Amino acid sequence: MSEVKEPPVVLRWSRHPRQVGRARAALRAALAAWGLSSVQDSAELVLSELLTNAGRHARVSPGREIETRFIPVGGGVRIEVHDASEAPPVTRRAAPESTDGRGLFIVSALARSWGIGERNGPGKFVWAHVVAEGASRAR
């Protein structure tokens, strides 16, 4: 018997900071439905960082939305954040007293892997694969 593949959850968001909490709630619901609540805390934090970065730095024309995709894969979830900006995210060294600039370090610490991909159309997407401890190394 083959494993049933769950469809990805694809949602669109404005750049407003309030959308980050709504996106986390959608991710939480998807993880619960897929039986992946064990990765919830890490996955929510990764999503928060990626979506916040897109909202702050992806300077795009009004009306362009940010798209998220949650895909169950390899004992965890692949989180994608798509935006219409061509500029890749930049890891920077934050000063100790700084209140921002650590997002990609957090993503690196919590995700098994992460990267940047090209879209069919304008922009790029940033993805991260968050897995439960002890999950297989399949990607």
Domain-by-domain residue ranges, the chain?
Answer: 9-131
Residue pair 131/76 in contact (Cβ under 8 Å)? The answer is yes
User: For 64, how many CA atoms within 13 A lie in the half-sphere containing its CB?
Assistant: 14
Topology of the domain covering 9-131: Heat Shock Protein 90 (3.30.565)
For the chain, where are the E strands, in sequence order? 9-13, 66-73, 76-83, 113-118, 124-131
* pLDDT score for 98: 60
Residue 95 has what pLDDT? 64
**In the prediction, which pLDDT does 104 show?**
86
Instruction: Provide the pLDDT for residue 138.
Output: 42
Which residue ranges in the chain fall short of pLDDT 50? 1-2, 137-139
Closest listed residue to residue 33, CA positions, set 4, 67, 66, 1: 4
